[in-house]
Each structure stands twice: as C-alpha cells, then as structure tokens.
Structure 1
C-alpha cells in the first residue's frame, strides 16, 4: 500500500515493532529507553511467542556475564567458532554480531530489571573456538508479583498454554517467561512504550521508496499505524503456516512446530515481499525431534538418556545424543526416518528417558497409541509394524556397544554434548543397555523451533531488495529474517542471541544512536 504524507493515521509513533519475542522486545526497549515513542504490535493475546516457551538461552559471547563466571569465552573465540562452524559464510554479519554482543549485554544490565547469569550448556559442534560447557547466558528468575498487572501479558509455559491455562499461582517466572517478563518490565518502565495485543500486521505502508507504517488487523477492523523512524519486524517465522511450508519445501509439518497455535504464520514476511523485499533460506528451520502427542501436535525432545531411535527398517540411523537440530536434520535426510520410533525399556520406570516439552503422561500416550508397550522386542515390533529381526538385532548390537563403552556405528558418547545429559553407569554413560522389559516405543516426528528463512537483511538489519538496495524504514530480525547461521545451529541460544543483537542494530540505525 502506498500513501501520501497527508494521509491520516489511526495512531503514529517513532518506532513500530511487530512481534513480541526476545528480539522484538529488546529492540522496543532500547528505542523506548532513549525516549522514542515506541509501540509493540502483537498478533496474539499474550506476549513472547516461542521465546516464552524456551529455556531463554542467549548466545551472546564475550560479555561481562561470562567474565563474572570465569568462563574461557571471549569475542575472539566466538568469532573463531562461528567462522569454523559456518564455513566462513556471512563474515560481515558474524563480525557485526560478535562485535555488538558484549556492549548489548552491558546496556541491558544497566537496567535493574535485566540480570543474567551463565548457563552451562555445551556448544553443538566440536570446532575451533568452542569453550568448555558453552557460553550461553540466561536471565535470572523473577517473581510474578514483580510484574504486577504486566504478568497477564506474558505467555505461560508451553504445557499450561496448550491447555488454555495461565501461570501457576505463586510460581516464579523462569527461562523464557523470565526473559520476556524482564524485557517487558524494563520496556514499561521507560514510560515511552506501549503494547497492542490482537494486532496482526498484514500490510506495510510506503511513501515512495520508504516504509512509513503498517496496517494491522484487529477485532475492531484494520488500523493504520504510522512509524516516523522505522518499522522493525521481529514477528517470527512461518512455521505454523502449512501452505507456506509446502510452497518453500520446509520439512516437517505446521502441527508439529513448537510455536504457539495461531502465531508465526508469516504475514509480515509476505507484507515485506509485497513491497519488494528479497528472501533467503526459505526451506530452512531450527529442527528438533518431536515426541508425537495424541492430539496430533508434537513435543520438543532432547537430552536422550537411554534408548535408541530406529527408522521404519528397525535400524538406528544416527547418534541419538546429537544436538537436537543435527538430529532433526538426520531425520529428514531420508524419507523413511519420519516417523521414527524411540525405543526404551523399564529402567526409566515407564517415563521417557529424555526431556520432552510439553510432557504428557505415559498413560495418555499408551491409551492413544502414540506409545506402545510390550513384554518382548518381538511383540513390540509387531505392535509398531517394525521388522522384528531387524529391531532385535539393532538392540543386541547396541547392548554390545554399551558393554564395551564404544558406539562403533555413530560414536554416541564421544562428544561433550553427548555426555551432558548422560546418566549411565557403564564405561560410556551415554550408552545404557536395553535389557529390562517391558519395552516401550514412542512415535517420533520432525518438529521445529521455528523456520529460519525470511527477509534478506544487511549488518544493520535493514531489509534488502533482490538487487541489494535497502528498503528505507524497514528492518527485520529473528526468524522474520534469514538467519546469519544459514543451515547450521551453532549453539544453545543462537536464535535468541542473534535476534536480540540484530534488533539492537536495527534500532541503532533507525535512531542513529550507539550502543
């Protein structure tokens, strides 16, 4: 949509931020902190999106937080690590990210609402620059009472949100809820910021070559909102839009994605394309195995502490302890790998020997058939349709590996990340034998934490056209933009960390400020 300067707005602000995840709220806070009239437009009724569901790991290397904890992390080691993992791609963005991260953390921690600590969690690749136990930071927990009326705006944990419940009474906000809650509190205290829920941005308004506002669909009809300085799209990807997934060849399914229902359906990305924006990486996502749920959804699954994963042939096809994105990529590497089956025994007392969010009880799974249980492997094979000879041979071979302490097929337990969740007592704690019936098989599908393809941007998060020119007034960060990480997921907190940094760089550019 193109308008002239004398067309009226329903409301006008210096900065319009679309979305309310960690990146969007970081940008909104920085703009409002410096006295600029800022509005956050959120499609849903609550704030935080997938960020609120997360563990809130922020991959923001080289900061005072790592230094306070005595970490071996540094900006140079992070630069080396990203260069090694990404194969030297996107060097300008990598440099902008690494150079900005420490100052951003320092700026955020100047606000008493924003406190961080180091969270031990290994990086995902054995590459130059990796530091022991990782470099991710997380926000401190926060009491619900500290947020007051703002608490009602923060999306609750995924297990409660999917059931239509709010925050558990008296519980602290931790992880992603703490991050969103703290950013919202800091934003609100500036006195220069406002939040609008139920505002789905479907169009961008231009004045010649510049984006000057948005059109948001609300329950009261469309609302035209002007942006004097710029529009920042921090609205997430399109993982919940099956039509867009299919059009761009994104593996998995919308129902298996971890984004809150009704969110992340890609309208802001399409609105930017409509005004000439280029896109990249549109077939990419942040992948993870997902335990299939009775209602057709899936649960983000990581930290396998036992069991084996087999495909339709009854054979293992990967190291089950791989970082979740790498395991997800193994799953869609061959059509027969999805759905897979996670096979485990009674050592876990009937519970899943892994972390799965949101959880469902074993009884619910067994009743619905998403899990099956049997006294022997042969009977388990019959219940799942797997070849009995192959499944029993797979388990026997794996048990031999557990006894000798070496996975000769896939190297499970060789890497620091493999051992991070391991609880075994044998020579290799990541290899736990399966020899205590009854046996259980849990259906495993390909889930994701979001798509990572989106609008092409530069080092200031400015949205670009196909010819590389800048669309003035339009910025994008997080999963609304094409990720700096390309087809890789270097470490825990990269999605949130890059979203926060490039949102900050967007605000710095649009306000001509410095961090």
Structure 2
C-alpha cells in the first residue's frame, strides 16, 4: 500500500480547504472544516495517517473545558493563564490568549459530535508554578474498537510506534493517539472530506494578487495540482527527520534519534512556504526527551524512571533524572558529553529497565549490540561502558546515600509532584531507589525528541505571516510546522497536541469568515 484516496470520490482539482499533513492538528482542522460544510482534502505524504501524533498518548493540553469541570478539577482559563505567564520565557500574548480562548470552545465543539469522546487523564504538569493543577489538566480521547470504524479508515491508521517500527499492524483496540486520529478522521470522512495518502506536497502556489491559490504534490501517478478556494492549512510536522536542516538551524540531537515516523518530517513544506514569502523562527528548537538508544541507531522515547541514575561520559550525574522529559532533554543538550549518556540501574526489577521506553527493544539484542552493558560489579560495569571505574563508583555511592536519607542533595530528585508520579519505592523518597543489587546494568541514552518546534511564523488565527508581519492570504499553519506558541517551554502533557488542535480550529474559523477565492 503506497497511496490511497478515501472519502468523497476521486481526487478533485479544487477544494475549499486543503490540509497538508495528518497528525492531530491537521485532522482537527480537516474535521472542523468538513463539519462546517467546506469541501476538504487531506494530503499525507506517507501511506498511513497520524504522524507522530499516532505514537503519542493522545493527551491534549486544552484548559478550562467541561471535561476538567466534570472531573472536579480546580482548572480554569484564568489558572491556565497564570501558569503560562509563569513558565513561558517570552510569551506572545496575542497567541497565548487565542489558545486560552479557543481551548474550551474546541472541546465543546468536539464533544458535541457523537464520534468524539474526551476524558480527563491524570498526568502531572511539568512546572511547579502558580496555576498548576494537581495531577494535571490534560484531556484525551476515549479508546474505541477498530472494528467499529469503516474498514477503509482502519487500514489508513498508523500503528503504535513499537509496532510501526517492526512493520506490524495496529491493535484491535485504539487508544491514545490512535484513538484521536481515528475519531477525527472518521468525522472528516463522514462529513464529506477526502484523505489522500502517498501525496507529497512539494510546492505552494500564489495567485497574481498574492493569495495562496493551492498546492503542487507528487502523487503515485505524477504531479498533482490542487486549488484551495478558502485556504491551505499546513500541519505536516517539523524538520526533525532532516540531518541537514537540524544542522542548519542548530537543533541539538540527531535525525536518527527522533521519534517521528521514519522518512517523514524533513521540513520541505516549511521551505516551500518560505519560498512564497513566509517568515520563519527556529528559536524554540524542539520537544526533547531522553531516548533509549536502539541497536539500529534509533532512539526510543524514555520517561517515568522508577529507579537508577543517569551519568554522562565522565561518569557523573548532571541533573534530576525524574525531571519531565523535555526539561531533562534540555539538560542533556547543555554539554556534548551528555548527548550520549548512560542509564545505570541494578537487578532490583530482575534486570529489567526501571523506566518506560517506547519501544524498549529486546534485552539480549541490546547486550549483543552494546547499547546495554552488564557487570557483576560497578567496576566491571564501568569498564564495559567505557567509564572511569572510580568516578562511577563514587557517583553511585553518593546517590545511594541520598536514597538512604531520602534527600537528593545535588539535584533535588523527589521534591516535585512529577518526580514521584511514576515511583513506587518503599524508601524514604520513592523517587530515590539505591543501586545496590548485582548484576549492574547500563543502557545507552541519547538526546531524542518528539519533534522540532521551529518553523512558520503565525498570528493568533494561525495565519502565516510574511517578512513584514502581514498575513499571506489563504495560508494557515499549525503543529510543529510553526514556531511554537510555547517558545522553548513544554508546559505539560499534551501541550504540542493541544496547541496544534486549538490553532487548527482558529484557522478554520478564519477561513469561514474570509471570502473564498474566485475560480
């Protein structure tokens, strides 16, 4: 399966709305446009829809909605405003206010549809700041059965990452990101939208009057030109899969370590928009995370440490290992000796990794490849990992003394709600578990990411701006194709998806207000 067109008949030469990409932001825009009665086309370059969103847990940071109120949370738009004011280094006030205003409206719109069900997900926010909601304010779609979908749609859905990388099909029950994409795609198709996979958008076309007229794409049978009467919405991910663009924009990490589906998110669509005058901003860098290095050289999103410690190439700790993943990733990015670290743990869980890694991989394959090493003593472990034995032993002994006392004197591990969210140790501080039971293990950890967050500059209505700060008529963007509203911060679980979805909704609202282009 390389290309398919699913929905309202064969591919047409003209639609009201053309959506580039098929992640959470893209499919939100498509679903809302179709519901509003606009003819809608989704163009996805790969054979499967969902992108990195399909790999995610499906959490959406959309504060102030009825979902949080039903759950009895102390959440509000005002509280979210205070929280963002505290955690964003330099906020774009207009875009922040647009996000906060749109979030409850979008949730209400989605929940009014029988194909969408949302619920609160307990998951701590990432900063101890005013306005933080205990156990988080994020929402997620309810799970559904693949058998309840149109079979044509079921075949288009990207599987979870551990299955997708292994070339295996998805599960019969869709949850998290797969549920989100499935529900949004089902709405799109029900209301007359079309989804075309295997169509790679290569160029944007402007009319003589400067309006964005449509797109050029490479399809299975050659070039395709599609006109957009009301607008083109770019929501096709960032440039995390391109080593050249990462280097050009100074983005830490490597393309091989990203969590984006392989062969995707290489940034051509951002360049295509820049070629028609769009302004760009790459200062946000990325949504970072530690990544368990796999034998094939890829990285696996790693979080939720239940034990162990992380050391750099010198054998020393350098941060609180229980930090939210983006914050720990940014600590990794601060020094070259941290970009390839070691996660040191013992046999207290039978030698299993005391953390969540997606995918984790096979332990014996890791050991054969050297991405994990093992030793009966810390000295032996250090030599296997290429670390100084004395330094590593001193580091572990100091950490163990902190575990015994219940206080991490170096980095404060265990002092925040997030630190203990995954912990279950019976020690004085459940985020601190001594590393004392042989044999000892070390797993290679690299600086991975969930995507880049630099790209097209947009306004509060997701309109793409030119170099003079003026909107390019008919061109909209959201998701990791844009410079993030959060800058270099990652406020909480589902912040990338929530913002992508909210600004997709703003884009559709603006398309409905603006006059359609003449044929």
1:430 pairs with 2:431? yes
Q: What is the aligned partner in structure 2 of residue 200 from structure 1?
A: 200
Q: Which residue of 1 aligns with 2:325?
A: 324
TM-score by length of 2: 0.96
- In the alignment, the residues of structure 2 paired with residue 362 and residue 412 of structure 1 have an alpha-carbon distance, to the nearest angstrom, of 27
CA deviations on 1:416-459 (whole Å, 9 max, x unpaired) are 00010111101100000011000000001000000000100000
1:367-414 residue CA offsets vs partner (Å, 9 max, x unmatched): 111000000000111111101111000000000000000000000000
Q: Is the 8 A contact 2:89 2:488 kept in 1?
A: no
The CA deviation at 1:302 is 0.4
Name the residue aligned to 2:517. none
Instruction: Specify the alignment match of 2:369 in structure 1.
Output: 368
Would the aligned equivalents of 2:302 and 2:355 in 1 still touch at CA under 8 Å?
Answer: yes
Kindly report structure 1 stretches of 4+ aligned residues shifted beyond 4 Å. none
Residue number in structure 1 paired with 2:167: 164
User: Within 2, Cα distance between the matches of 1:387 and 1:165?
Assistant: 41
Q: Displacement, 1:219?
A: 2.0
SS of residue paired to 1:348? coil
Contact 2:89 2:489 in 1 (8 A): no
Distance, in Å, in 2 between the alignment partners of 1:90 and 1:348 is 46
Describe the superposition over 1:68-104 as per-residue Cα deviations: whole angstroms up to 9, x where unpaired. Answer: 1101111110011011101451111111100110010
SS at match of 2:326: helix
**Structure 1 contact 10–224 (Cα < 8 Å) conserved:** no
Equivalence for 1:135: 137
2:390 equivalent to 1:389 = yes
Give the SS at the match of 2:173.
coil
Q: Secondary structure at the match of 1:448?
A: strand
The SS at the match of 2:420 is helix
Structure 1 residue 263: Cα displacement = 1.0
| CA distance in 2 between partners of 1:431 and 1:490 (Å) | 25
Match of 1:56? 58
The Cα RMSD (Å) is 1.1
Q: Is the 8 A contact 2:284 2:488 kept in 1?
A: no
Q: Please state whether the residue corresponding to 2:215 is helix, strand or coil.
A: strand
Q: 1:112 aligns with which of 97, 114, 119?
A: 114
**Structure 2 SS opposite 1:108:** helix
Give 1:469 shift: 1.1
**1:182 corresponds to 2:183:** yes
Q: Alignment partner of 1:417: what SS?
A: coil
Distance 1:176 1:31 in 2: 21
User: Residue in 1 aligned with 2:21?
Assistant: 19
Indicate if the aligned counterparts of 1:250 and 1:282 stay in contact, CA closer than 8 A. Answer: no
Measured in 1, the distance between the counterparts of 2:64 and 2:461 equals: 20
CA distance in 2, matches of 1:271, 1:146: 38
1:418–1:430 CA contact under 8 A, matched in 2: yes
Contact 1:285 1:452 in 2 (8 A): yes
| Paired residues for 1:1-400 under 5 Å | 11-87=13-89, 89-149=91-151, 150-168=153-171, 171-190=172-191, 192-208=192-208, 209-282=210-283, 284-400=285-401
C-alpha distance 283-121 of structure 1, shift in aligned 2 (>3 A)? closer
Distance 1:463 1:364 in 2: 46
Three-state SS of the structure 2 residue aligned to 1:26 is helix
In 2: Cα distance, 1:416 partner to 1:400 partner: 22
Deviation at 1:10, TM superposition (A): 6.2
SS in 2 for 1:29: helix
Tell me, in whole angstroms, the C-alpha distance in 1 between the residues paired with 2:485 and 2:36: 27
Long gaps (5+) in structure 1: 1-8
Note the alpha carbon deviations across 1:339-379, whole angstroms, 9 max, x for none: 10000000011111000001212111111110000000001
Which sections of structure 2, spanning at least 5 residues, go unmatched?
A: 1-10, 515-519
SS of the residue 1:187 aligns to: helix
Task: Determine the C-alpha separation between the residues in 1 that align with 2:186 and 2:100.
Answer: 27
Equivalent residue of 1:418, what SS? coil
Could you tell me how far 1:282 is from its partner in structure 2? 4.9
2: distance between equivalents of 1:262 and 1:110? 36
SS of the residue 1:272 aligns to: helix
Deviations 1:265-307 (A, max 9, x none): 1111110000011101256000000000000101000001100
Supply the distance in 1 between the matched residues of 2:376 and 2:319 (Cα, whole angstroms): 26
1:509 aligns to 2:514 (yes or no): no
Q: Contact 1:248–1:283 at 8 Å: present in 2 too?
A: no
Secondary structure of the structure 2 residue equivalent to 1:204:
strand
Q: Distance in 1 between matches of 2:288 and 2:339?
A: 13
